[in-house]
C-alpha cells in the first residue's frame, strides 16, 4: 500500500499548469472538447512518456490497468486510444511543442545575463521538430524573459503537414 505521493504526482507538482492553461486559452485548445480536455490529454501523454510507453494504445492499457490509482496520480480521465488519436489530430501544436531550460551563469563572466534576485542566468527556448529528434529552433535570452512571451514563435510543423 502506498504511504505517500506517487513519483508521477510528485513530478507533476513542478508542471506549471498556469503557463499551460494560458497556451490553451491563447490557441483555443479546448474548443469543442467533450471528454478529453487539453490538460487531461497532456497528462496522459506525459504519463506515457514517463512510463516508457511506445504507443497511444500502450498508454491507455497501462492507465486502464491502474484505473483506481490514476485519479491519485492526478489523471482525471482515462480514455481509449481512439480519443488520444483524435486529440492528436485536432490539438494545436503550439500548445505542446515548446520547451525551455534555465541555465545559471556567473554574473562576473556574463553581466548581460543578470536575472532575478541578483543571480545570473540564460534561458534556452526550444521549438521541437515533431518529426525528428532534434530541435528546430533555439532562442537564447536572459533569464528574466518570461516563457509565455515565447509562444508566438513560428513552429516547424502545422496540422496539415505530415512527417515523412
Q: What is the pLDDT of residues 107-159, one digit of tens each?
A: 776 666 666 556 677 777 777 665 555 667 777 777 777 666 665 555 444 44
- State pLDDT tens for residues 69-93: 888 888 888 888 988 888 888 888 7
Domain segments of the chain as ranges: 7-92, 97-146
CA 62 remoteness from chain centre: 20
Residue 107's region, left for phi above 0, alpha for psi from -120 to 50, else beta, is alpha
Q: Report the distance separating Cα 133 and Cα 127, nearest Å.
A: 12
142, three cell numbers: 536572459
Q: Which three cell numbers stand for residue 59?
A: 498508454
Q: Report the predicted TM-score, pTM, of the whole model to 2 decimal places.
A: 0.60
Specify the 3-state DSSP secondary structure of 31: coil
Q: Quick check: 114 and 90 in contact, CB under 8 A? A: no
Amino acid at each position: 500500500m502506498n504511504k505517500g505521493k506517487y513519483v508521477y504526482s510528485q513530478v507533476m507538482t513542478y508542471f506549471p499548469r498556469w503557463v499551460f492553461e494560458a497556451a490553451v486559452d491563447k490557441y483555443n485548445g479546448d474548443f469543442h472538447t467533450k471528454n478529453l480536455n487539453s490538460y487531461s490529454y497532456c497528462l496522459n501523454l506525459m504519463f506515457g512518456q514517463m512510463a516508457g510507453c511506445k504507443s497511444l494504445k500502450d498508454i491507455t492499457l497501462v492507465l486502464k490497468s491502474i484505473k483506481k490509482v490514476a485519479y491519485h496520480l492526478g489523471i482525471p480521465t482515462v480514455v481509449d486510444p481512439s480519443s488520444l488519436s483524435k486529440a492528436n489530430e485536432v490539438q494545436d501544436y503550439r500548445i505542446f511543442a515548446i520547451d525551455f531550460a534555465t541555465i545559471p551563469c556567473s554574473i562576473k563572466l556574463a553581466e548581460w545575463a543578470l536575472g532575478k534576485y541578483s543571480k545570473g542566468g540564460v534561458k534556452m527556448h526550444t521549438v521541437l521538430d515533431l518529426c525528428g529528434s532534434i530541435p528546430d529552433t533555439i532562442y537564447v535570452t536572459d533569464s528574466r524573459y518570461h516563457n509565455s512571451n515565447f509562444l508566438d514563435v513560428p513552429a516547424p510543423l502545422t496540422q496539415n503537414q505530415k512527417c515523412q
